[in-house]
Each structure stands twice: as C-alpha cells, then as structure tokens.
Amino acid sequence: MADTTERSGAASGGARNAMAIVGVALVVALIGVIIALVMVLNRGEKVVYVEEEPTQRTRVVNEDTVREVVDNINEMDFVQPGYYEVSMNMNWIFPDGTSPSSNAFVENVPGNTNDVYFDVQLRDTGRVIYESPLIPRGERLETVQLDTDLDAGAYDCVIIYHLVDDQQRTISTLSLGMMVTIES
C-alpha cells in the first residue's frame, strides 16, 4: 500500500507542474495575441502632425543688418500700433566729448503710431550718456550733444526707445545696439 500512496503523490505533483506550465503558456500566448492585435490595429493608422503656425519673432538689428531691416520696413504700408519703425544711423560721430555730433539723427517716421523719446546707455556700465527730448510722429532730431563728456574712443552703446501714449506714459520699449565715436 505504501507503494500506491507514493505513486499517487508523485502523480499529483506532476499534475501540478503540468498545470503550472500550461498556465504560463496560456499567459504567454495571451500576451502574444494582445501584441499582435495591437500591431494589426495600429498598422492602418497614420500619425497626423498638426503643424502650428510659427510665431513671428523680432530680429536683432545691428550695424550690418540695419539697412536690410529699414528697407523691409519701408516696404510696409503702415506700422502696427505699439510697434516702431526705426530711422537713424547706427554710429554717431562726435568731434569731441562736448560738441554736437556731425552725423547723428533719429526720425520718428510719419507712419509710426506713437511719439517717442530715447536714452543712450554705455553697454558695459548701463550709464546713460544722452536723454532725448520727445520726438512727435513725423519729426526728426538732428542735433545731438551728449549729456556726458566722454574721452576719445569708440563706445559700444544701447539706444532704448520709449513709445509713449498721449500722456507721455511709456507703452512699449525697443532696444538697439549702436556705436558712439568720440574723435578727440
């Protein structure tokens, strides 16, 4: 009898192992079927990318690109509110630190929508070397004499335009790089 008990215990252990193997095989087969189904279903799908309209970016203007930018601006019929069409030269030359410039000018073209004033700062220190008067639309400033006496040399500067409303409150600013040259 002992012999029969051992066989039935061995048979039940083998049945458990066989059932475990069948269970694992079923799980693996089920995963395979799911993967195959997903692949078949996605085969006909096309991915559609919606192309967003690019945002308009402003352009950095420097001495080399100012003519191209000004030419493009001149082709426009009008300047949108809050924008400013720049008309100026980018290298102001002064005979010395206390005399008016021989070539500096800034024009607030008639197509602009706002009056403007500007400050000129030394790029490296931020020190303001000139504060302009208010320039109404359609007017031109041609006499520029620095508020600060500078030594001879070339100075890397930033001109900051302030577009103002009817009460002369700043509604927008525009900064450009420029040079100031003091000859002696």
Residue found by looking up tokens 């395979």 in the block = 32
Range among 11-15, 146-150, 171-175 rated most confident? 146-150
d(CA 121, CA 73) in angstroms, rounded, equals 25
d(CA 125, CA 63) in angstroms, rounded, equals 21
CATH top-level class of 66-182: mainly beta
- Name the E strands within 56-111: 86-88, 91-94, 106-108
Average pLDDT of span 175-184: 96
For the ranges 15-24, 49-58, 143-152, the lowest mean pLDDT is seen at 49-58
d(CA 105, CA 87) in angstroms, rounded, equals 8
Residue bearing the bigger pLDDT, 12 or 53: 12
Q: Are 106 and 131 in contact (CB under 8 A)?
A: no
Q: Are 149 and 183 in contact (CB under 8 A)?
A: no
Reported as a single tens digit per residue, the pLDDT across 88-134 is 999 999 999 999 999 999 999 998 999 999 999 999 999 999 999 99
Residues 149, 182, 162, 138: what is their CA dihedral angle, to the nearest 10 degrees? Answer: 120
Reported as a single tens digit per residue, the pLDDT across 35-93 is 766 666 666 555 454 555 555 566 677 777 777 776 766 555 455 665 789 999 999 99
pLDDT of amino acid 14: 72
